[in-house]
Amino acid sequence: MVEAETPVAPSETAPSPTRVYRHRLPVRIWHWVNAVTLLVLLMSGLMIFNAHPRLYWGQYGANDDYAWFAIGSTPDTGYVRIGAARVETTGVLGRWTDAEGVEKTWAFPGWATIPTSYSLADGRRWHLLFAWVLAISLTLYMLWTAIGGHLKKDLHVRRDEWSPRHIWHDIKDHARLRFPTGEAAARYNILQKLSYIGVIFILLPLMIATGLTMSPAINAGAPWLLDLFGGRQSARSIHFIGAWVLVAFFLVHILMVLLAGPVNELRSMVTGWFRLPVEKAK
Amino acid sequence: MSGVMMPRRELIVRAGGLAAALPLLGACDAINDAPAVRKILSMGEEMNRASQRALIDRDALAREFTRADLSPIFRSNGTRLPPGAGYAAHAAKGFADWRVAVTGLVARPLSLSMADIRAMPQRTQITRHDCVEGWSAIGEWTGPQLRHILTAAGVKERARYIVFRCADRLGDALYYESCDMVDALHPQTILAWALNREILPIANGAPLRLRLERQLGYKHAKYVTAIEAVDSLDGIGAGKGGYWEDRIDYEWYAGI
């Protein structure tokens, strides 16, 4: 069997693995600014949600109206309700115990929110400031990807990559944890391209647009936003769902980094330099 | 059944407690409370105010809905019944003796009765009320435009803000709010005495509440007793322009 001859950790035993300059400075800066910004936005957003842990569809929605999603509590449990389905979440959502051992019935627990104790005012301050950081950095990054060639060089999906066979092949490789080696590892694969394009050009703009749709002043200036999302409460629901799609992206992203070699991946996002994984012996 | 549930629940509770005990979280709150951070955080409000004032037409109207869009029940929040014998006496008499003082930087201070207010030209609008907490309710409001009242009182050029004094006492102080002249003179800014074609209920601010349609609910002062034109918010309450602004640092500009 050839496996016996395969070095256990090829990148460590190889004399001088090829290094490539994979991430340019704007990519690295935006990546880390974004990482902090999205974390602050998520945690402060959960605080804002705690003020009214119910979601609706349409123009209006308050306590007497039907909520399609709610986090709540009974005298001794906490629960999440989606439509008619109710899941008990005691200890984590709806009813939990804080650091001092005091039972709380806020939707999301203190360790997940900014600040850790209930303050809608402070949650809003953090959220509405970092929303600016997100919007400005995303705009600059979009401009740079278009002008600096990142879009064309790294994110552009080539015609052959669009073929279902190619995409299916890539999905199978990911599922088998078979990652590209050599030159191919320096480029984004099709699933990476599609997820990055989806986050940068669809999901993040959607979060900003639904966020703005919740503003009564912006509703007056741009009422078409209300029509686009079907009302302020629909926009609030989409905003909440979008946040969890971003969390899902983050989890898969972290998983991929861990599987592909966390030190090498992290270094490339800090210094820009990436060591090409050596091809396993044939 | 509960015997099976308890250990797991306790485990989860304990895990949650452990996570909450992480020193990181204490550091987060220390950052949140640091004066320098408070200052940086308040930049967001100023950026929102400046950009919205610059980009949105000063007379751009909040969406007006139809009667088919009305919330089946219009929720009330905050004070639902102002405490005290004074307000109760007014309520018992159907607010027949209620007066609204118009003072400050005006050429002709006024003292308006409810009859005076109902005799003015009226505006009716079906709008969405957005609470800072996140919920919304649609209601039909009727009352005179604030700009009509301010014109009648001869508001002076120097006036930069309008302060609304209220009859409801929360803890140690009476509720109050304020807005700039852009919102004060906005066509949809009215002093409503009717909700959904009925006399305004006490829970929603009887006999008179402000509608400031392009800002969040806490700006819409209820139980209004006085309208005061000023050139500065210093010296009013704690100087931040509103009851909640003074106490828990809600934004004074609540357009988002």
Q: What is the CATH number of the domain that holds A204?
A: 1.20.950.20
Bigger pLDDT: B1 vs A277: A277
Calculate Rg over the CA atoms of chain A. Answer: 23
In this prediction, residue A9 carries a pLDDT of 46
Q: Is residue B199's pLDDT more than 90?
A: yes
Residue A280 lies in a domain: no
Residue at a domain's end among A63, A90, A107: A107
CB contact under 8 A, B52 and A128: no
Q: Are residues A42 and A134 located together in one domain of the fold?
A: yes
Residue A38 lies in a domain: yes
| pLDDT band per the 50, 70, 90 thresholds, residue B254 | very high
Residue A281 lies in a domain: no
In this prediction, residue A16 carries a pLDDT of 59
Tell me the mean pLDDT in the region B159-167: 98
Q: Is residue A226's pLDDT more than 70?
A: yes
Q: Over the stretch A249-270, which tens digit does the pLDDT of each residue have?
A: 999 999 999 998 999 999 999 9
Put simply, whether B50 touches A (Cβ < 8 Å) is: no
Residue A242 lies in a domain: yes
Q: Is residue A2's pLDDT more than 80?
A: no
Q: Are residues A199 and A154 located together in one domain of the fold?
A: yes
Q: Is residue A237's pLDDT more than 70?
A: yes
Q: Is residue A129's pLDDT more than 70?
A: yes
Task: Please state the domain count of chain A.
Answer: 2
Q: Are residues A190 and A212 located together in one domain of the fold?
A: yes
In this prediction, residue B7 carries a pLDDT of 43
Tell me the mean pLDDT in the region A167-181: 89
Residue A282 lies in a domain: no
Best of B4, B32, B61, B126 to disrupt the A interface (most A CBs within 10 Å) is B32
Q: Which residues from chain A sit within 8 angstroms of residue B255, using beta carbons?
A: 215-218
Q: Are residues A90 and A192 located together in one domain of the fold?
A: no
ipTM: 0.89
| pLDDT band per the 50, 70, 90 thresholds, residue A12 | very low
Q: Are residues A25 and A84 located together in one domain of the fold?
A: no
Averaged confidence pLDDT in chain A: 91
Give A181's contacts (C-beta < 8 A, 6+ positions apart): A276, A277, A278, A279, A280
Percentage of residues of chain B with pLDDT beyond 70 = 90
Q: Are residues A84 and A137 located together in one domain of the fold?
A: no
Q: Are residues A100 and A141 located together in one domain of the fold?
A: no
Put simply, whether B75 touches A (Cβ < 8 Å) is: yes
Tell me the mean pLDDT in the region A207-235: 98
In this prediction, residue A7 carries a pLDDT of 41
Question: How far is residue B207 from each of residues A183, A211, B79, B172, B201, measured CA to CA in Å?
Answer: 75, 34, 14, 23, 8
Query: Do you find a cis peptide bond into B109, omega within 30 degrees of 0?
Result: no
| pLDDT band per the 50, 70, 90 thresholds, residue B22 | low
Check if the beta carbon of residue A90 is closer than 8 Å to that of residue B10: no
CA-nearest residue of chain A to B247? A121
Q: Are residues A83 and A206 located together in one domain of the fold?
A: no
In the block, residue with structure tokens 């509770």? B13
Percentage of residues of chain A with pLDDT beyond 70 = 93
Q: Which residues of B172-189 are buried (b: 16+ CB within 10 A; e: fewer)?
A: eeebbbbbbbebbbbebb
Q: Is residue B15's pLDDT more than 60?
A: no
| pLDDT band per the 50, 70, 90 thresholds, residue B243 | very high
Q: Which residues from chain B sit within 8 angstroms of residue A125, using beta carbons?
A: 41-42, 44-45, 249, 251
Q: Are residues A167 and A211 located together in one domain of the fold?
A: yes
Distance CA B39, CA B135 (A): 28
Put simply, whether B228 touches A (Cβ < 8 Å) is: no
Tell me the mean pLDDT in the region A83-93: 96
In this prediction, residue A4 carries a pLDDT of 38
In this prediction, residue A152 carries a pLDDT of 85
Residue A202 lies in a domain: yes
In this prediction, residue A151 carries a pLDDT of 86
Q: Over the stretch B97-125, which tens digit does the pLDDT of each residue have?
A: 999 999 999 999 999 999 999 999 999 99
B 188-227 residues with CB below 8 A of A?
Answer: 213-216
Q: Are residues A21 and A92 located together in one domain of the fold?
A: no
Q: Is residue B67's pLDDT more than 70?
A: yes
Structure tokens at B205: 């601010």
Give A229's contacts (C-beta < 8 A, 6+ positions apart): A209, A210, A213, A235, A238
Q: Are residues A157 and A224 located together in one domain of the fold?
A: yes
CA-nearest residue of chain B to A129? B44
Put simply, whether B132 touches A (Cβ < 8 Å) is: yes
Tell me the mean pLDDT in the region A41-60: 98
Range of the domain at A36: 2-53+112-275
Q: Are residues A179 and A243 located together in one domain of the fold?
A: yes
Bigger pLDDT: B191 vs A153: B191
Residue A61 lies in a domain: yes
Predicted model pTM: 0.90
Give A112's contacts (C-beta < 8 A, 6+ positions apart): A43, A46
Q: Is B98 helix (H, G, I), strand (E, B) or coil?
A: coil
Distance of CA A266 to the CA centre of its chain: 17
Q: Is residue A156's pLDDT more than 70?
A: yes
Distance CA A277, CA A280 (A): 9
Tell me the mean pLDDT in the region B81-89: 96
CB contact under 8 A, B45 and A115: no
Residue A138 lies in a domain: yes
Check if the beta carbon of residue A69 is closer than 8 Å to that of residue A54: yes
Best of A87, A95, A218 to disrupt the B interface (most B CBs within 10 Å) is A218
